[in-house]
A and B are shown apart, each in its own frame.
Chain A
């Protein structure tokens, strides 16, 4: 009896253990994913009780909407402006932290501090710093004789402001990840290179970067996915007027997620259309992740 129970237990318990995950994940993760595709094929407004099937009409309208393309451009621009400097800073900082340093723990803690601060808090603080009339940054610029910038009004300036928020929050986190990867690189490689007279910069390029390539790929892809979904920073930065979801008067910093929420949760509650936006966004993210994957691999083979 006991033995039979034991065998039964051995056979079923693994499934029992993964069951909670797959049940919950199925309901709240997978099911919504598929259902988004179904909703996107309907004229599905939350305000009406009829949801007629319309085929690919939402996708057609989406691709014909200049505001969608505008949001896509803004998203890519903000993503590049934030991801590229962020990763470069993180690599350089990790390279410094990877030496023998004083106050090691303090520096590491300092690196992670911005990441513990919430996105909303960061956006509130930086919106104040980047304020047109009373912002600290404009005060500094004016004192230096450079003149004030209406950060929110310009396309480039608003993208920079938002990118700064992202860079500030994520650089330290990526630094720690790179640092961990660098510490796994065998030390004798550097010693040999030093004997050959390689400068620290050469060592970074020739040894460190190729050696931490898997981490690099991982980080680039994660940062890209995160960058494609930016929402809180521009939403808070836009302030509070009725058009806040449009990301400025000229939609100069409306990201794809803002565009999704604008269509789905304000004007008309067009869930069908917003679902189409979600799917297109997902495809774009996949494309970008693949491009990055290929690019980062080639960086290595070139060196």
Chain B
């Protein structure tokens, strides 16, 4: 009898554990609008959506919203994998500019927002931002734009003062009309600041800013990779290499713990600042309030980054998900997000709204960031992004990293970059 019960127990444990697992892995929610549903929102970084969810739930009491946050690189890589395997994607996913073309080239994987009536809203968005969300064949709209990344340059006034540089933002802007002059200021900074102080954090950001200011970047308009052919790319590379050689880079890889900690420790004095970067600065260096300020970016205007919210086809609740992204990208929401985190709206009617243009932040030494980023966004000349822009940028960033870490000479690094991106074509 004893052995019999043990035998039954063993079988029961096995059966239960298997059944239990199968049961938990099933999706149980389909059905009417009264039924509780959960929308998963996959983001990289803090988009400042939390308070907006609460508001959305007031009109949609049956909707539960869960955020999943990964870092920039992992987020986009995972999304590609989830689409390829038709499982694991969230109901709503954020896609950054460098990756948007990769996804607009496979519209079959997403709900077409035009089917939900999004077409009537086109005039609200910056025309190029709207275009970026359209599929390659223009027949479907896969994403609604959240923010744009009009560029500025953030700098630490205290570190500038210590190095004998001007601290007042107009004078600082006047130091660097061009990137060459920016690098030169960096050389002055390196000669005056002590050991362990650097002019900027990582070469990849600076490079990306320069390239994205150009008429064309790493792709031509027919989606051919032109890293080797576009003289602007090589120029940006050479100048970045020049800055690395002058010891201006803190050699931090973006989105690592070291990078995060360096904001708070004041390891570096400047960082290219698309509007969304202000959120990272504030989040990473809470104690440095008032020390950061915002000047204009060298080389004129340009857009760096900015995101779209897309709805993968795997999502079971396209109607509710569409209502949520429509709400999250509405002008009220975008204005609120900007004031909270710094992500700058992609809706031009806000660019002349006094509540935006008059907005400043004590954290950034009361810099009129509303005005600065409005001007930047208005001046942006859009650049065509190809399907693998993100991977191309990663390959180039690794090349710059090899120079920073002393593993390769610049020429060899460039040759390897060219052969790496050739494989991506």
Contacts and interface: CB of A to CB of B under 8 A. Distances in A.
A266 B77 contact: yes
B255 A240 contact: yes
A239, A246, A249 — most chain B CB neighbours (10 Å): A249
Interface string A7-22: 0000000000000000
B258 A241 contact: no
B73 A153 contact: no
Nearest to B106: A47
B398 A246 contact: yes
Main secondary structure of the interface of A (DSSP, over half): loop
Interface string B386-406: 000011001101110110011
Contacts of B399: 249
A246 B399 CA distance: 12
Contact of B85 (A46, A240, A243): A46
A236 to B, nearest CB: 12
Interface string B73-91: 1101100110011000000
Given A131-B258, A249-B398, A250-B402, A241 B253 contact: yes
Given A47-B84, A132-B258, A134-B261, A242 B405 contact: no
A250 B405 contact: yes
A46 to B, nearest CB: 5
Main secondary structure of the interface of B (DSSP, over half): helix
A252 interface: yes
A46 B406 CA distance: 37
B397 A243 contact: yes
A150 B256 CA distance: 14
Given A249-B398, A249-B405, A46 B256 contact: no
B407 interface: yes
A99 interface: no
A153 B256 CA distance: 14
Interface in A250-276: 250, 252, 265-267, 269
Contacts of B397: 241, 243
Interface in A232-246: 239-244, 246
B72 A242 contact: yes
Contact of A249 (B390, B407, B424): B407
A243 B261 contact: no
B365 interface: no
B258 A133 contact: yes
Contacts of A266: 77, 80-81
B254 interface: yes
Contacts, number: 69
Contacts of B84: 46-47, 269
A250 to B, nearest CB: 4
Interface in B80-117: 80-81, 84-85
A150, A240, A267 — most chain B CB neighbours (10 Å): A240
A93 to B, nearest CB: 34
A297 B85 CA distance: 48
A131 to B, nearest CB: 7
A126 to B, nearest CB: 14
A240 B71 contact: yes
Nearest to B388: A267
Contacts of A134: 257-258, 261
14 contacts: A133-B262, A239-B253, A240-B71, A240-B256, A241-B71, A241-B397, A244-B74, A246-B398, A249-B402, A250-B401, A250-B405, A266-B81, A267-B391, A269-B81
Interface of B: 71-74, 76-77, 80-81, 84-85, 253-258, 261-262, 390-391, 394-395, 397-399, 401-402, 405-408, 424
Given A131-B257, A241-B253, 5 more contacts: A47-B84, A132-B258, A133-B262, A242-B391, A243-B398
Interface of A: 46-47, 131-134, 150, 153, 155, 239-244, 246, 249-250, 252, 265-267, 269
